[in-house]
Amino acid sequence: MVAQRLGFDYIDTGAFYRCVTLAALSKGIDPSNPTQASQISTLAESSHIGLKTVFSNPSHIPSTSSSLPTTKVFLDQKDVSTEIRTGTVSKHVSAVAAIGRVREAVLQKVRDMGATSQQRSGSDSGRDGLVMDGRDIGTVVLPNADLKVFLVADSRVRAERRLQEMAKSGSKEEDVLDVETVQKDLERRDELDRTREVSPLRMADDAVELDTSHLTIEGQVNAIVQEVHRRQATTSSSS
């Protein structure tokens, strides 16, 4: 929605790691088994991952959830948008993301996609910027980004939101999962990501922290867009 408001392109880097995780699981590979790291890394390097964001009117925030922009995720030309959001994939994605070769492969894919986006921005797309999300964007992927926003929220609130997301996507797992289970899994993933050796989850020194626990989606979008406009105005006045 931030990308939509600003007329920018959008890249969800977490979808890349979820695709690799799904690819491994579909081949019977256990991501929690360290001896499988080489096989998973090979999958990450060879898999073709594509994203397609469908925007509604870029001049405003849609008034209903049904008109929100959506991102379709493709793994080797197959639409896996729903499959990568299952609880099974969520359970294993942190282990996959902790593999050094996997992160290198995904980083290259993300940067290639970002470069393609920037090339379009300079041509006829009408888009002149990029919104990218993920757990190491501000520290590793785009360390020189014009604005870095570090989103935080109470883990209970995040768990409730995840269950709502599952329900909207039509996932049957939402019927058997409870908020406590999802909350514990989110906290487990956070700890794994914070303590991994490669690209650990941390806030960049020059990032803006935004606590979204008590903000609506529209409130979150407004806060980020206002910060973008503030920085743009500051840059314009100083140049």
Range 216-234 average pLDDT = 94
Model confidence at 24: pLDDT above 90 = yes
Mean pLDDT score of the chain: 86
- Are 198 and 100 in contact by the 8 Å Cβ rule? The answer is yes
pLDDT above 70 covers what percent of the chain?
85
* Assigned CATH topology for domain 2-125+133-234: Rossmann fold (3.40.50)
Domain boundaries, the chain: 2-125+133-234
Model confidence at 220: pLDDT above 80 = yes
Lowest mean pLDDT among 14-18, 169-173, 185-189: 169-173
Model-wide pTM > 0.85: no
So what's the pLDDT on residue 238? 73
So what's the pLDDT on residue 215? 96
pLDDT digits (tens, 9 = 90+) for 196-214: 888 888 999 999 999 999 9
The phi, psi pair for 51, rounded to 5°, reads -125, 140
In degrees, rounded to 5, the angle at the alpha carbon of residue 67 between the alpha carbons of residues 61 and 68 is 60
Q: Could you write out the DSSP letters of every residue in the chain? A: -HHHHHT-EEEETHHHHHHHHHHHHHTT--TT-GGGHHHHHHHHHH--EEEEEE---TTS--SSGGGS-EEEEEETTEE-TTGGGSHHHHHHHHHHHT-HHHHHHHHHHHHHHHHHHHHHHTTTS----EEEESTTIIIII-TT-S--EEEE--HHHHHHHHHHHHHHHT-GGGGT--HHHHHHHHHHHHHHHHH-SSS-----TTPEEEE-TT--HHHHHHHHHHHHHHHHHHHHHH-
So what's the pLDDT on residue 218? 94
pLDDT digits (tens, 9 = 90+) for 37-96: 999 999 999 999 998 877 665 554 544 444 566 788 999 999 999 999 888 999 999 999
